Amino acid sequence: MAKILIVDDEKDIVDLLSYNLEKEGFSTVKAYDGEAALKMVKMQKPNLIILDLMLPKMNGMDVCRALRRNPETASLPIIMLTAKGDEVDKIIGLEIGADDYITKPFSIKELIARIRVILRRIYDENKQPLKKMFTYAGLQIDYNSYEVHVRGKKVDLSPTELKLLFFFSQNPGRVYTRNQILDQVWDNNTFVTPRAVDVHIRRLRSQIEKDMENPQYILTVRGFGYKFADKK
């Protein structure tokens, strides 16, 4: 679960963003001035910052500069948030290292989409090379040949089912929301609703699980999403 630090001196905006982001499966931490933001980065180690430009004590530009100067936070994603529509501010913000820039008033959906694009890019950049084979409790996956065997029997999966199985098996024990699964498995140009994830997972389970009501591989985490069983 990605942790997002929201920095804005307007409490209503911070609360609104926090509520909507947590509804989408993110966790959030909050700061209301520039100095507090730097402290929260050090203490909470967020995966991304939504940073307002006009802040008390230390403005957003200076916070961004400070983060980029520190080797530990030099690559931390930053989305600048500001009421200003001045093109100069936008250019300066991007030049000093902001990853993106959005102007108030803004669309929550657009902001969340931008957050997902940035986090997905980072995930792709940091993703470890695939192992050639994966085995667990009778399940065998050959990532090179795209072959799957369950208890010695070859199973033919659709491209989407294969992508799902590859994704889950590469991250055993980690819980993902439906939206996070959509971000990682489906193409950006394909419109799929979060509930469609359930349908595809049921289809995948029907192919690989011995008992769909008591799955062994892809487990449901009630109220949150799905995970591949912890590989012991």
Question: What CATH number is given to the structural domain containing 196?
Answer: 1.10.10.10
Residues 10 and 110 in one domain: yes
pLDDT at 135: 92
Task: Provide the whole-model pTM.
Answer: 0.56
pLDDT at 184: 79
The type of residue at 136 is Y
Residues 114 and 137 in one domain: no
Mapped onto helix, strand or coil, the DSSP state of residue 170 is: helix
pLDDT at 92: 62
pLDDT at 9: 93
Nearest C-alpha neighbor of 108 from the set 225, 15, 7: 15
Query: How far separated are the first and last CA of the chain, in Å rounded?
Result: 22
Rounded CA-CA distance 101/57 in Å is 21
Mapped onto helix, strand or coil, the DSSP state of residue 65 is: helix
pLDDT at 86: 58
φ, ψ for residue 27, nearest 5 deg: -105, 150
Question: What CATH number is given to the structural domain containing 94?
Answer: 3.40.50.2300
Rounded CA-CA distance 93/95 in Å is 5
Residue finishing a domain among 69, 96, 126: 126
Number of domains the chain is built from: 2
pLDDT at 139: 95
The tokens for 185 are: 């498995």
pLDDT at 84: 62
Is 151 exposed, middle or buried (CB count within 10 Å of its CB: 0-12, 13-18, 19+)? exposed
How confident is the prediction along the chain (232 residues), in pLDDT tens digits per residue? 689 999 999 999 999 999 999 998 899 999 999 999 999 999 999 999 999 988 999 998 899 889 988 888 888 899 988 776 655 566 665 666 788 888 888 889 889 988 988 887 776 655 555 568 899 999 999 988 889 999 999 999 888 899 899 999 988 888 888 888 887 787 655 566 778 889 999 999 999 999 999 999 999 988 888 999 986 5
φ, ψ for residue 191, nearest 5 deg: -90, 115
Q: Residue 186 belongs to what domain range?
A: 133-228
pLDDT at 133: 87
Pairing of the two strands 225-228 and 48-52: unpaired
Residue finishing a domain among 96, 126, 156: 126
